[in-house]
Structure 1
Amino acid sequence: MTEQSLLNFTDELLESNWLYCAICKDILKPPIMLVETIGNVCTTCLEETEVTNLKSMNNSALENVLSLLKLPCKFKLKGCMERCSYGKLSFHQNNCKFRTKICPMQKVSGCEWEGSSLDFADHFKQCHGDHVINFENDLFFLQTSLTERNVVKLLVMKQHTYMLRMQNNLEKNKIFYVICSLTDDYNSFCEYAVKHKGASDNYIKTKSKILSSYFIYDDIDESIAVEIDINALKQIAQVSDTITNIFKIKLEDSLTETMDEKILHFFECPVCKNFMKPPIYQCHSGHSLCNLCRPRLEKCPTCRSTFGNTRNYSLEGLTVGVMYPCIYHDSGCAEIGSASDILKHESECSYKPYSCPFPSCNSSGNHDIIVNHLINFHFDSVIYNGASGFTDSFRLDQNNIYNKVFDRKCVIAYNHIFKLTCKRVAEHCLMAAEVVGSQNTSKTFVYEVSVIDMRRPEKKLIRTDYCLNEMPEEELFKKCIMFPNSVLSSYSHHGMVTFNFTIREK
């Protein structure tokens, strides 16, 4: 029988209804059961309906006939001309671009939209805009709660759009997720990696490949989804149940590792997972780690041997020819450079994370976000463009503020954020200035405090010191400017001490 004759024969069988289930009226799927008084029934209908009590037998002869046929897609009337063997027909129909799709937000918000996959992206952007995430240098940032049952997000890049689906299985204590292409001609070579970060410095990293659009519209297939243990996420989340997920998608043309990327693997610090730059230290057994982690550890995290002051000069020598990514590349920075150049860049990187300097506030973000936050929410305590300084005063005889911080202010100047903290003790007034987010900063700043006698403004008591890196207050007030209360009393006017505070770059 020629191929055309076989197709004609198939169409004749379809027209006679011999190949359709007597219950669901869809094309039969093996195993086919011949049910008394009913006819041929697919196994799904047999198990889900009341005909299970009737006598039935396997119709293996019809199954053999089906195995020879190429069956049309059930969306033929909508334009699909595909024909498949019955073994592949179900997968094709589930993934058919002419299939009527159900919006995945149905389980999240009850959306009742149905339509073509070609219209899906426009529908999602128009009706679920708060679930759309735009890329930043191929990175997507998403905060999720460990208690969320279903998460659906549209990931929009310049030339590509993907769908993220996350599902919390509390019974298995696992979170499953997939990223799918929105088009049927998806590229199976597209990869992505995810860093799951909490309040601690630790993170969990997962990676997988972009899946077919088929997995957007049906329940997540846990056998092919990425899974993460919820208990492991709780450990890195610490006090909260919120996780920051950083998705990095690698398209096919960017999958090949460069020589720098291959070499950088050997420079990964075993503690903080950042890339080591000179000076690089090593334990007595030869395991290396970065200069930021070394002071915090008593023993090697790899072999538990002790540390000396031994440097790994051989590894340091290799860094001369290595181009380092910015330490904030996971936040979206695409800058690369030599070890010295990248350190200078990192001190002023616009992606560097900041926490709000005021202790009662938990806000965080990059430099611009925190500056706007300070101006909008702490405006009474913020001096903007404050390089020229500000003048303030306090009452000297307030005994109830002894051993307490009585004033905090933030000064925004030189594209940096400075925190001024004032404290009174029994015999002194203490004033300290810190550079917020000062780790790896390449600039030096000094602060000057001038106590002014308001009866004779030309009479001043001036003290100058270096702005400090952020540190605990018990350490901060050991290294700050101190004014004896007995001296301040000679500058006070009606019990008030007036001072001028300025910052300058050295």
Structure 2
Amino acid sequence: MAAVNSDSAGCIMSVLECPVCMDTMRSPILLCQNGHNVCNVCKLNLTNCPTCRAQFTGTRNLALEKLSQEIRVPCANSERGCTEKLSIQDITKHKTSCPYRPHKCLLGLPNSCSWEGRRTDILLHAKEKHRGSVFQSRVNIFSIYKNWKKTLECEILCTLSEEIFLLRTKRDSKKRKYYEAVQYIGPAESASKYRYEHHLVSPEGHKEMTVNCAVRSDTESMERIIEIGECFTIDYDTAKAFVGREGRIGWTVNIRHEPSFGRHRSPEVYRQQFGLDSSPYVSTWESSFCSPQYYHTN
């Protein structure tokens, strides 16, 4: 495959850009009577060329297709340090996993922080501007307490060893449900190596809920995570049973590397870490790892 520099790559990518969806065209690339290109996906919904309104001939642009298959272009993050040069087919996938891709700040109120930078600078920025939203720990369990009515919807940055996770919470007033998800900040492939356990206990200790979910990539939206069901979900009426007298609700989040998730602590150790003495909780802990997502309430 032929490799090109950044300037040439920009020109080639503009030539390969579909005039309708603005995405990079891949084989098959179709032509109109006047020689304008369009991607195959958009062509299915068109009767005339979007550029000149001429009809399509059904002819493919074989030269452009070959170029899209053979050329290797540098990553869009090359100026930030990425040295990868990839085919057109691989470049889109690489954008979401590139360790040099820019990250936007997700802490604070929506769109309240305009910071954007490298993954290695996220923690420094968070400590300077959002100190109250940063949890650092050498262990993998984070205890969180929030006011149920006022401050439950939040974004919290959690660090475990040298890895960074984002704890995201969301309310849906129409459906009367509350959601929580953990996302890994970094290469998308690394997110699949982790799982997390969400645990709720009522103030009196009579009710418990344990949920085991997969950690998702920070490239996914909260809406998408809710859609696929890889998050903690609880309706308002059920949640009230876990709210204390002062209107505060507390929970623990246990983030673990997937190969060892739930294997290195006995039920007795786990129970002591949460300060629980009731035997039903031990069976909850043992059962919660039997399926990808397990709910248990007493």
TM-score by length of 2: 0.64
Are 1:230 and 2:227 counterparts?
no
CA change 1:257–1:135 in 2 (3 A) is same
Q: CA deviation at 1:24?
A: 8.6
Q: Distance in 2 between matches of 1:14 and 1:109?
A: 30
Q: State the distance in 1 between where 2:145 and 2:178 align.
A: 14
Residue ranges of structure 2 left out of the alignment (5+ in a row): 280-298
1:194-224 Cα offsets, whole Å, 9 max, x none, are: 1023445212211123333434xx5552226
Report the secondary structure of 1:81's partner residue: coil
Structure 1 residue 214 and structure 2 residue 215: aligned?
Answer: no
Residues 199 and 237 in structure 1, CA contact (< 8 A), matched pair in contact too = yes
Q: Report SS of the residue matched to 2:224.
A: coil
Determine the C-alpha separation between the residues in 1 that align with 2:242 and 2:269: 26
Partner-residue secondary structure (3-state), 1:108: coil
Deviations 1:371-394 (A, max 9, x none): xxxxxxxxxxxxxxxxxxxxxxxx
Per the alignment, do residues 212 and 111 of structure 1 end up closer, same or farther by CA in structure 2, a change over 3 Å counting?
A: same
Distance 2:27 2:149 in 1: 41
| Corresponding residue number in structure 2 for 1:400 | none
**Within the alignment, does 1:181 sit opposite 2:184 as a pair?**
yes
Task: Calculate percent identity across the aligned residue pairs.
Answer: 17
Q: Alpha-carbon deviation of 1:228?
A: 0.4
Q: Which residue of 2 aligns with 1:325?
A: 269
2: CA distance, partners of 1:236 / 1:64: 60
* Alignment map for 1:51-130 (pairs within 5 Å): 55=53, 61=60, 65=66, 68-69=69-70, 70-105=72-107, 107-108=109-110, 110-130=112-132
**How far apart are 1:110 and its partner, in Å?**
0.4
Indicate if the aligned counterparts of 2:9 and 2:73 stay in contact, CA closer than 8 A.
no
Secondary structure, counterpart of 1:214 in structure 2: coil
CA 102–256 in structure 1, closer or farther in 2 if over 3 Å, else same? closer
- Residue 247 (1) aligns with residue 244 (2): no
Greater relative CO, 1 or 2 (CA 8 Å, sep 6+): 2
- Can you list the C-alpha shifts for 1:111-162, whole angstroms capped at 9, x where unaligned? 1111222211211111100001233743211124367684211113344432
Alpha-carbon separation, structure 2, partners of 1:54 and 1:29: 21
Q: For residues 182 and 88 of structure 2, what CA distance do their matches in structure 1 show?
A: 28
Name the amino acid aligned to 2:197: A
Q: Deviations over 1:291-321 (max 9, x none)?
A: xxxxxxxxxxxxxxxxxxxxxxxxxxxxxxx
| Partners of 2:31 and 2:59 within 8 A in 1 | no
The 1:195/1:82 distance shift into structure 2, 3 A limit, reads: same
* Residue 140 (1) aligns with residue 148 (2): no
Is the alpha carbon distance of 1:192 and 1:167 closer, same or farther for their aligned partners in structure 2, counting shifts above 3 Å?
Answer: same
8 A contact 2:179–2:234 mirrored in 1 = no
- Conserved in 2, the CA contact under 8 Å of 1:148 and 1:168? no
Tell me which residue corresponds to 2:282: none
Aligned to 1:293: none
1:152 aligned to 2:142?
no
8 Å contact kept, 2:28–2:60: no
**1:61 shift after superposition:** 3.4
Separation (CA, whole Å) in 2 of partners of 1:106 and 1:34: 48
Q: Is the 8 A contact 1:190 1:252 kept in 2?
A: yes
Residues 232, 18 of structure 1: alpha-carbon distance in 2 compared, 3 angstrom cutoff: same
TM-score by length of 1: 0.41
Moved more, 120-129 or 130-139: 130-139
- Residue 196 (structure 1) aligned with residue 195 (structure 2): no
Q: Which amino acid aligns with 2:113?
A: C
Equivalent pair of 2:108/2:130 in contact (CA under 8 Å): no
Which position in structure 1 is the counterpart of 2:11?
15
- 1:41 to partner: Cα distance: 6.2
Q: 1:318-357 maps to which residues of 2 (within 5 A)?
A: 324-325=268-269, 327-330=271-274
Offset, 1:225: 3.4
Alpha-carbon distance between aligned partners in 1 of 2:92 and 2:136, rounded to the nearest angstrom: 34
Larger displacement relative to structure 2 (111-120 or 89-98)? 89-98
Partner AA of 2:192 in structure 1 = S
RMSD of the TM alignment (CA)?
4.6
Residues 14, 20 of structure 1: 8 Å contact kept: no
* TM superposition shift of 1:237: 2.9
Give yes or no for contact 1:194–1:206 (8 Å, CA) kept in 2. Answer: yes
> Does structure 2 conserve the Cα–Cα contact (< 8 Å) formed by 1:186 and 1:213?
no
Counterpart in the other structure of 1:487? none
Contact 1:66 / 1:86 at 8 angstroms: preserved in 2? Answer: no
| Conserved? CA contact 2:33–2:57, under 8 Å | no
> Kindly tell me: are residues 245 and 90 of structure 1, through their superposed partners in 2, closer, same or farther at Cα, counting changes over 3 Å?
farther
Contact 2:9 2:74 in 1 (8 A): no
SS at structure 1 position matched to 2:125: helix
Contact 2:140/2:160 (8 A) holds in 1: yes
| Number of corresponding residues | 260
CA contact (8 A) 1:193 1:206 kept: yes
Question: CA offsets, 1:63-119, max 9 Å, x none?
Answer: 954763455432234332334454543332133233232111264360111122221
Distance 1:169 1:163 in 2: 19
Deviation readout 1:253-304 (Å, 9 max, x if unpaired): 743625x83xx5xxxxxxxxxxxxxxxxxxxxxxxxxxxxxxxxxxxxxxxx
